[in-house]
Every structure is written in C-alpha cells, then in structure tokens.
Copies of this chain bind each other. A is one copy, B any other.
Amino acid sequence: MFEAAEVGSSIAKSEFRKQVPLLRHELLVLQQELLELAEFPVIVVFAGVDGAGKGQTVNLLNEWMDPRWIVTRAYNTPSDEERERPEYWRFWRDLPPKGRIGLFLSSWYSRPVLDRVYGNIELPQFVDCLDRIVAFENTLTEEGAVLLKFWMHLSKPAQKRRLKALEKDPLTSWRVTDRDWKHWELYDEFVETAERAIMRTSTGRAPWTIVEGEDLNYRSLMVGTMIRDAIRKRIDDARRTQETLLQPAPDKPDASAAEVAQKTAGDGEASVKTIQSSPRITILSNLDMSRSINKGDYRQKLMENQARLSKLCREAFKKKVTTILVFEGPDAAGKGGGIRRITSPLDARNYQVLPFAAPTDEESAHHYLWRFWRHLSRAGRLTIYDRSWYGRVLVERVEGFASEETWRRAYAEINDFEDQLIESDIVLAKFWVHITKEEQLNRFKLREKVPYKRWKLTEEDWRNREKWGQYEMAVHDMVQHTSTINAPWTLVEGNDKRYARIKVIETVCERLEYKLSEK
C-alpha cells in the first residue's frame, strides 16, 4: 500500500517558489468564498509516521491561509472533563462551523492506532474502533462537510534519517522524543495497523491520500493543492445547485422559481404522502390508551418511587453514573408534568432539564447532532432532554424541513450517537408519552382557559393536529429503527396523567437500579 509513497517524490525549491504564490492566492480567495457561502465546513485530518512532517505542513497551511478562519487541534491525554464524557465529545466540541476549516492532527485515529500498535487492544476491538470512525465521518460528510484525510508516509530508513536529522539540529532537536524512537522500533506493527485502518476507513466521501513525507516542498504543495481542489469543487457544486433552484426547471419551462424550490424542498413530504394514502396500523394503535390509576394508588406509588429515585440518584452521583432521559410526544401529552415528578425529589445541583426548540445561530452552523453533544453533562448527573435529537425524524420529517434522504439516514446517526452514550456507561431512557387526538383537543381547550398555560398554545399546535396521522407514522418508524436492546423506547399511555407519571418514574428507577447493580 505504501510502496508508491517511497519513490522519492520531491519538488525543486525553484519550482516550489514559483507555485506557492499562486496556490496561496487561490487558497485565500477560496477561504473567503467558503466563509461567505457558509454552507459547509472543511475538515482535514492528518495522520501517519512520526517525523513525516504533519505538524510542519499544518503550520505552513496556517501561514498560507488566514488563520482566523482555521481551527487547528491536536489531542493528548484527555482532560478530566473530557474523560467524564464519551470519547468523541472532544472532537465534536472542536468541529469547525460551516464556512471554516478545521485541521486535525492526532485526531480520532490516534488512540485506536496506538492502542493496537502497543498491543493494548485485540484486532476485533480495533475493527470496532474503525467502524466507529466510519460512522462518525459519514455523519459529517452526509451533512455536507468536505472531509480530506492525509496519511504522511516515510519508509523505515527514511524515518530513521529524519529523526536523526531533527535531533542534530539544535533548533528542532526538542521535537524528537523518546516516544518517537519507541515508535520507530514499532515501525512494522505501525505500518501494518495503518494499512488496515486506511483500508477500512477510506470511503467515497472521505478517502485517504497517502503522501510521501520526505520532502517538505512536495508534501506541502500536494496537500495544499488537494485542499484547494476539494473546496473549489464543492463551492462550484453549491453554486450550481443554487442557480438551478433559481431558474425554471428545464422540463417545465413555465414553472415559477418558487414552485421549483418547493418541489425540491418537498421531496421528502411527497413520499410520506404516498405512504399515508395506504393507511397502516402503527405501533401506537396497539397501546391500551384506557390505562389509568386511581388517586390513592397514584399518591402512594409516586411517593415510593420518588424516594427510591432520590436514593438511586445519590448513589449514581457517587458512582459517577450519568443518566440521560429523552422525552418526546405530541403537544400537551404531559411531558412537562412527567419531568417535574422526576426532578422534584432530586437535588437541583445534579440535574438539568434542557428544552429543545429552534436551534440558535451557532447551532445552525453545525451538524444537527452538535447541539446535543455540546450539552452532555459531566459524570454522575441526570440530564433530561425535553424534545431531542429525534426532532429530525419527527417534526423535521413531517414538516418537510429535512429531505427524505436526510431523515432516513438520521436513524443510523442517532443509533451510533446513542451507542456511544451507552458505551461510556450512561443510562439512557427514552419516553414517547402518547395521548389520543381527542384527549389532546380536551387539553388544548383547557389550556385556553388557564392564563399561565395559555402561552403554551400556539397556532402551530393547532396546525400540527392536522398532521396527526403523519406524526403517528413517523413515531412508528422511529421506534422501529431506534428501539434497541440497550436503548429501548418506552411507550407511555398518557391519557391518564397519573398512570403516565408512574410508568415513567418506575421505568427510570428500574433502569438505574439495573445499571447500579452492575457497578
């Protein structure tokens, strides 16, 4: 695999000097266009042999371009705040927003590759790590990110020469550490591991480029040129798409621009409608919505379970077990009431309720999962997501804010995200609190009468009722795709508020008890 990168590629200094000013100029112009368009981020990953000049090349790129719109990151030992969250939290929090460039040295590849080379993990575990990487990178590229990966290569003798040369020069000797020489001794293991990593993670949208690392001029020009071409191409594509949307469709010369735009945006919705026309039984129709509980039993059970939960949460805090609860459901289903019954016995220092409505502008400038990653708490806390990452496959699907292609792939993205939560020992419970359409109407009418609840009721709530059937189907599909053994959905029959609250709090207690018994 690496033979082609051991042929002694180089570029003469004179040639380099001739090419750089133009390349630099083009990169600066592109950076500006990228920023103005603000439609996608550019993520560049550097990996490879020590001494192959990853750092040098990244520094040069920062010099060539405007460093204000570049984020450069390298990762060492995680901080304690990072250790208390899933491994990828540190990468998510550094991802560049749309319009900017992120250069990642020692990225998500470092830990798995080094663990494998040092023999800390077995091959199957290593393959699992690579699968996680593929899923992560897919998540980014599917949402539009330009993702480039450069593997800087040196042959074993070349690496030795390079390390020796760096050591000899007093200006660079600090760069060579014992660790570098240790790695050189593991060269063969390293190359074998690298080969497997590259094979597994070189995908159509996130391919690896192997770069011969011996010559600074060669590798820098090569990397710079590829970054330029990739950004150029994507910007041109984006511009073409915009133009198409603004021009009449070729096959319908009389169609107005607005119609065309609507047609494109509404593709997802159209296919939903097709499904709707053949009514089907959803998972929700199987719920026994008449379930209820009498007032006396409710009080008793609520008290018992709140005491139980309070104790469990204290234990979880001590044992650093984090809990995440997700609440979804139609308007007025009683999510808020259910949430309050959970939080009231708890210590306010250790829980947080996060409501999710429209994203802020900083959130809109990132992948849609970013806003959920950023709020992951430190270890031992309980966080309640009042609406969540499921918005993409519920409201965004039904209202046509996300294309069919987008919400369909969201299932896999969500499963992968939740996998990471569970892997880092987080207790995850997801509740769909359901009510019937009739019950919702009753509650809406009631809300109109209570002054401090009236604000909760908007025009939109009434409009959403019209799409009841579509929402039911979206829930059906959601449960089908995302209810897994480790992260099952709990469907809650919510027509009787008391019944729903008890079911929710009991489920939370059970899940916590189970996890704590393992500790």
Contacts and interface: CB of A to CB of B under 8 A. Distances in A.
Given A344-B63, A386-B68, A349 B105 contact: yes
Nearest to A105: B349
Contact of A62 (B25, B69, B103, B348): B348
A195 interface: no
Nearest to A378: B79
Given A72-B349, A455-B32, A343 B171 contact: no
How many of these chains are in the complex? 2
Interface stretch (A131-139, A352-360, A390-398): A352-360
A314 B73 contact: no
A20 to B, nearest CB: 14
A184 to B, nearest CB: 22
Contact of A67 (B81, B105, B340, B360): B340
Contact of A81 (B79, B103, B347): B79
Given A72-B348, A362-B361, A452-B28, A343 B307 contact: no
A55 interface: yes
A15 interface: no
A8 interface: no
Interface in A51-77: 55, 58-59, 61-63, 66-74
A343 B63 contact: yes
A346 interface: yes
A336 interface: yes
Contacts of A72: 348-349, 352
Contact of A80 (B66, B79, B336): B79
Q: Which 9 A-B pairs have the closest CB atoms?
A: A72-B348, A68-B355, A74-B349, A29-B452, A62-B348, A67-B353, A63-B344, A68-B353, A361-B361
Interface of A: 25, 28-29, 32, 36, 55, 58-59, 61-63, 66-74, 79-81, 103, 105, 171, 174, 307, 314, 336, 339-340, 343-344, 346-349, 351-355, 360-362, 378, 386, 451-452, 455
26 contacts: A29-B451, A29-B452, A55-B349, A58-B348, A58-B349, A59-B347, A59-B348, A62-B343, A62-B348, A63-B340, A67-B339, A67-B340, A67-B343, A68-B336, A68-B354, A68-B386, A69-B355, A71-B352, A79-B79, A79-B81, A80-B81, A81-B81, A174-B314, A360-B360, A361-B362, A362-B362
